[in-house]
Chain A
Amino acid sequence: MRAFWSVFGKEILLFLRSFGLVAVVLYAFTADIYIAGEGIQVKPRHVKVGYVDYSGGYLANKILSHLHAPEFEKPRAFTSVEALHKAIFDKEIIVGLVFGSDFERSSYRSHRAKVDALIDATAAAQSFVTLGYLQNIVLGMSDIIFPVDLRIHKLFNQNADSKIFMSFTEMLSITTLLAVILSAMVFVKEKEEGTWDIMLLMPTNAKTIILAKALSQVLIILGGILLALGFVVLGIFDAPMNGSFWAFMLLSLLYSLTSIGIGFFIAAASRTIMQVAQLTILIMMPLIFLSGAWTPIYAMHPVLQKFSLLSPLRYYIEGSESIFFRGASILDIWPSFVAVALLGFILFVVGYRKIGRLF
């Protein structure tokens, strides 16, 4: 037991002594998550609209006056269709409206009028939603009486607030990245310096040393999660916490052990830190992308869906999302717990054996 604590303490001390590493881990768990949360607003916000008005009339102005903040910027007038085209090609304008010279006239005479809308579809999501807004505005201007009121409730996240979502998934991704890379580095650094074989040859049980090294990294990761959760996700972005905090921490603990199992594999397979870096990225990218952090799993390619069953991050994300947003209890989401624990157990045990072998 004394050997365990001294190795444990040594690793924590080594971590704390490396100023750069502490700074980077702190940055990753705070500022980086903040940047990811702030970076994206999926709702159309400040969409740049440009228009050319050949009709010079009241109706066009009335439509344009409906395009207001915060969804749209004040529409910019262009003198010709060519100028508008150029602005769209330069990505200064996302939606361009052209009111033809007979727009107003035909609206009064034949009760039918047409607006030409040019939409930059490289921003596919925004243009889709913007189009919906436009259609609604135009429909409201027409004399249609359609007495159905659509009551739309977005469950769990009524305003479709992407800040919470993005910061949350970023926190989980950062956790994975750091857990894998830190635990692999702890071993490979010794390998590179040639001290690992000496460690294994020491008269204490090699298993104790490996376990102490691994668990010291778990402590660092859990500390980081608490920091990120307290300051950024719950603090700045004010995420809802509908479920139990301890359920989440338990899941996080299980998950960190799983990630460290992956770290073992990488450590066993590589001799230099350069290899660790490349291998980590090689394994992390699929892990994160197959986990449903960015797209829900059932929306993926069918083959990728099968692969995603192997990603422990998938169960971690499913579980913690249910805890946070849907307020599920442990009993509701026990499959996530079991899956993380099972994958973790396999990875940990096999990786443990691999890294414990001499040379």
Chain B
Amino acid sequence: MRAGVIRAYILKEFKDLARTKMLYLVYILPTMILLLFGYGIRLEVTHARTIVLDYDNSTLSLDLISALEHTKYFDAHVSTMSEQEALRLIKKGDADILVIIPASLQKRILKHQKAQIGVYIDGAYPMRALTMQSYVEGEILHLAQKLLAKRGFDGHLITINQRTLFNQAMRDENAIVPGLIGLIMLVAPALLAALLIVKEKELGTIFNFYASPIGKTEFLIAKLTPVFLLHSLNIFILFLWAVYLFAVPFRGSFTLYWLASELYLFVSLGIGLLVSIITRRQIVAVVLTVIITVIPGFLYSGILMPISSMQGASAIEAHLFPVMYYNHIVYDTFLVGEGLASHKTVLYLGILALYGAVPLVLGTLLLRKELR
């Protein structure tokens, strides 16, 4: 380890990055992804375009319609079109829900006979379809309870006293933005690191390294330090966006968030480094990095689906990727605030350190200092 050599090489790497105008991309990219995804992903459904065909025209059906009209979840319109026409609108993607209230609904209910209400939901987006279904069911069940209360109901009744933890307002931002930090801090540094060595291989400048007396470790330290320093700043930038723009509460310790993020940065750099060492062409390195980081970073991160309810292959994959460990800690620091008091956080911090160390060590071993 010669500090002078490393310093000189780091300086050269910084200049390289600056000359390719990469510096501003290092900061634009993460911020842009956070803003786009943060505003772009909505799990909650509001203003679902609902068509109501009312064949009953009774007080009950009007109650039902006004219940649908008076929530922000539905944009209900009573219409006189035929069922075929309404279904066609859904087919074209111009409506989401079709509610058909049959004639004699009120009459049958008053006589205690079974009545049916038909509901058609556009299922092209499965997640939205399920959410809309539970809204419609909820709205109608709620109406049922109100009706029963009016009639002076006197039977057994069990109610659920629900308390939502960590995200009391059920805001989408709170649920998504911390997870996005995990995605971004995996993709962006890895992408930059992935090109560091393979670029020299393709251009032939790697021979400078082969021929110079610089050691393998020194070379890697010099290569990774600029990327590490540049992206360390992003940890703070993303934090500021999350807390001030998206107004996500921050309940845990900032030191923990910061430390975990720096560790995670090592993981990301390690992945990029490995890709850079095993590939021979830049294009392969780029595509490979994008594919192995973006998909797990998003799907197996716990943003859309809790890790605990994954089963079989997907559960194994989720545990293989480093994202879930980091995201657990990030969600903890933002929404929960348990911190190091929870053994799981400590364990995951350890796993992250392991994930950070293994690719770096592996990369050092795999890197050759001579022509293949």
Do the beta carbons of B299 and A36 come within 8 Å of each other? yes
Do the beta carbons of B45 and A299 come within 8 Å of each other? yes
Please count the residue pairs between chain A and chain B whose beta carbons lie under 8 angstroms apart in the complex: 361
Closest A residue by C-beta to B43: A125
Rounded to whole angstroms, the CA-CA distance of A136 and B170 in the bound complex is: 21
Considering only residues 27-41 of chain B, those with a C-beta below 8 Å from chain A are 28-29, 32-33, 36-37, 39-41
Rounded to whole angstroms, the CA-CA distance of A48 and B307 in the bound complex is: 10
Across the interface, B165 reaches (CB within 8 A) one of A118, A170, A271, namely A118
Looking at chain A, what size class is its interface with the partner chain? 35 or more
Would you call A198 an interface residue if the criterion is a C-beta within 8 Å of the partner chain's C-beta atoms? Answer: no
Closest B residue by C-beta to A108: B156
Given contacts A113-B159, A160-B126, contact A326 B39 (CB under 8 A): no
Considering only residues 242-266 of chain A, those with a C-beta below 8 Å from chain B are none
Interface of B is mostly: helix
* Chain B nearest CB, measured from A83 CB (Å): 13
Do the beta carbons of B157 and A142 come within 8 Å of each other? yes
Question: Which of A4-12, A208-216, A275-283, A339-347 lies at the binding interface?
Answer: A275-283
Do the beta carbons of A277 and B195 come within 8 Å of each other? yes
Would you call B328 an interface residue if the criterion is a C-beta within 8 Å of the partner chain's C-beta atoms? Answer: yes
Give the most central of A25, A275, A278, A328: most B CB within 10 Å. A278
Do the beta carbons of A301 and B39 come within 8 Å of each other? yes
Do the beta carbons of A18 and B160 come within 8 Å of each other? no
* Residues 90-109 of chain B, each 1 if its beta carbon lies under 8 Å from chain A, else 0: 11110000000000010011
Would you call A146 an interface residue if the criterion is a C-beta within 8 Å of the partner chain's C-beta atoms? Answer: yes
* Chain A nearest CB, measured from B154 CB (Å): 7
Across the interface, A122 reaches (CB within 8 A) one of B131, B147, B175, B299, namely B175
* Chain A residues within CB distance 8 Å of chain B: 18, 20-21, 24-25, 27-28, 32, 35-36, 38-48, 59, 63, 73, 86, 88-94, 107, 111-129, 131-132, 134-136, 138-139, 141-158, 160-162, 165-166, 170, 177-178, 181-182, 185, 189, 192, 271-282, 285-286, 289-290, 294-296, 298-301, 304, 318, 321-322, 325-326, 328, 332
What would 20 more interface pairs be, CB under 8 Å, given A63-B158, A112-B157, A123-B175?
Answer: A20-B279, A38-B313, A46-B309, A73-B309, A90-B343, A115-B160, A123-B302, A132-B137, A143-B155, A144-B155, A147-B113, A150-B119, A150-B137, A152-B120, A273-B282, A274-B22, A277-B191, A282-B32, A285-B33, A326-B124
* Chain B residues within CB distance 8 Å of chain A: 20-22, 25, 28-29, 32-33, 36-37, 39-47, 49, 87, 90-93, 105, 108-109, 112-131, 133-134, 136-138, 140-141, 144-145, 147-148, 153-168, 170, 172, 174-175, 187, 191-192, 195, 199, 202-203, 279-284, 286-288, 290-291, 295-296, 299-300, 302, 304-311, 313-314, 317, 328, 331-332, 335-336, 338, 342-344
